[in-house]
Amino acid sequence: MVQFKEEKLLRKELQKLLEDYEHKEIRSLNKIIMSMLARINNEAKIFSGIPEQLVTLANNSLLLQVYQRTGLTYSEDKVVSVVGTSINYIKAVIDKLVKIADDLQDSDKKEALYSLIGGSHLFMAYFFCKYRKKFFADNVNVLCELHGIPKLNEKITSNDALVSLFELTESKKCSKLQRALDIIMQHGNDLITIDANELNISNASKLGISNEDIKALQLLTRVDYDNVYSLMSIAYESISIENKRTGQKLSLNSLYNLIFSMFTNSYIKDIESCKENKNSEFNEFMDAILNIDNINVLYSGIARNFHDIFKNNLTAFSKFENNIIHKYAEIEKEKLSIINSISTTKPSTENTSVVSSSENTLETEENEESSETMTEATDETVIEVPTRRSRRFDQVTLALAVFSALFLIANSAFLMYLIGSKNSAPVYGNIDTNQQCSSIYTEEESSVWQDQ
């Protein structure tokens, strides 16, 4: 059986709680073991000694592994085996990442790499909002009671709450959604503690969490977990990086999936295969982030599950675009820039579904080639004779001009359609699409929170 240092603590907890259930079926066994491990981890840090930025990812990956691999029939030895194998597997993945980071030979680049991997909200949205939402919601409700924050109005739907979370925080540094996910990532298990008298104690002040933050967390409890993950997927899918070596374009969503698939792999057969680098995901991930040429924001349409928010509400979509997508793009751009030692200018924006940097490169090359004209000398003057290259440049320029004109016409027509439709915009759920999305938040707070 796999050995691990927390085994004695785990067996003690199992015997205290489940001793009478050996070989019996327990429908929620995986949730029981997951909660048990979270408590043990608070007492004895399971992943001590690894980079701080990766601790939360490792902890949540362990809980997810145990949740996925624990059956319905309880057996102490079987549970201990699942937990031990999961811990050792995740440590092997972390060890491989640390080894890769050591090759960077620069502390700032290492920190940026760890932050890039461990700071992604994509995995956090998937794990916490899906597998620990009840735990999270219960803690946030207690936190609201302790701080005198009223309950949300029962009429507020998941989409209402989501649009409110598109708003920027008071600091304007990020959206309320991003701030809420940051808090969950850093302090999700520590929002409250229970004292010796079995009373709930808030840790908000100690953790630097304001009442505004608590309200954002409260709104997040109202959002359907599928929508949270879908929203993060849309944001990360809209950010594209181009490999300067291969020319391949890859979304951040696909990039993160390469590495997170390692942590979430529930079919653990050979831990040594991870240590020996038989998994190509590591190499593909590092090749992508170490050879970045361009980082762009792309738009390929609005996801169907957000159609009822964005269809006729230009304000809501604008806030999603500026406060969610672009804020995430700027953050990821900065991390990737440090790793690659490239410029930290803001990412460019493209309205097409493909990156057009190759077209810009072609145009530049053609400009350079067109200047290489042949000349014929006469006694009176020098006459420039256009070459085949210069004529090709003129043709490309004309084609680009026609394409740009057609795009502007189509875009204008689309915007006129949306604006015109506002006069008869329907109401989706409880969102009036003729209304500014900010009107359900700060200015008319009573529409979101119940009167005390």
Structure confidence at residue 356 (pLDDT): 34
Structure confidence at residue 345 (pLDDT): 46
Structure confidence at residue 285 (pLDDT): 85
The answer to whether the CB of 275 falls within 8 A of the CB of 95 is: yes
Structure confidence at residue 269 (pLDDT): 60
Structure confidence at residue 451 (pLDDT): 53
| Low-confidence stretches of the chain (pLDDT beneath 70) | 1-3, 129, 266-279, 299-306, 308-312, 342-452
Residue-range domain boundaries for the chain: 1-103, 107-361, 362-440
Those residues whose C-beta lies under 8 Å from the C-beta of residue 251, and which sit 6 or more positions away, are 236, 237, 238, 239, 240, 241, 298
Structure confidence at residue 99 (pLDDT): 87
Structure confidence at residue 124 (pLDDT): 81
Q: What is the rounded distance in angstroms from the CA atom of residue 88 to the CA atom of residue 69?
A: 14
Structure confidence at residue 44 (pLDDT): 85
Structure confidence at residue 364 (pLDDT): 40
Checking DSSP bridges between strand 200-202 and strand 239-243, what pairing results, if any?
Answer: unpaired
Residue-wise pLDDT for 165-200, tens only, equals: 999 999 999 999 999 999 998 888 889 988 888 899
Structure confidence at residue 409 (pLDDT): 52
Place of tokens 């794990």: 127
Dihedral, 299, 305, 310, 311 alpha carbons, nearest 10: 100
Q: Which uninterrupted H or E stretch holds 405? A: helix 388-421
Nearest to 150 by CA among 381, 357, 451: 451
Which ranges constitute the DSSP H helices of 166-210?
Answer: 176-187, 204-207
Q: What is the rounded distance in angstroms from the CA atom of residue 403 to the CA atom of residue 298?
A: 18
**What number of other Cβ atoms are within 10 A of residue 59's Cβ?**
20
Structure confidence at residue 172 (pLDDT): 92
Structure confidence at residue 349 (pLDDT): 54
Residue-wise pLDDT for 89-117, tens only, equals: 899 889 988 988 898 888 999 999 999 99
Structure confidence at residue 138 (pLDDT): 93
Structure confidence at residue 8 (pLDDT): 92
Q: What is the rounded distance in angstroms from the CA atom of residue 192 to the CA atom of residue 367?
A: 63
pTM of the model: 0.71
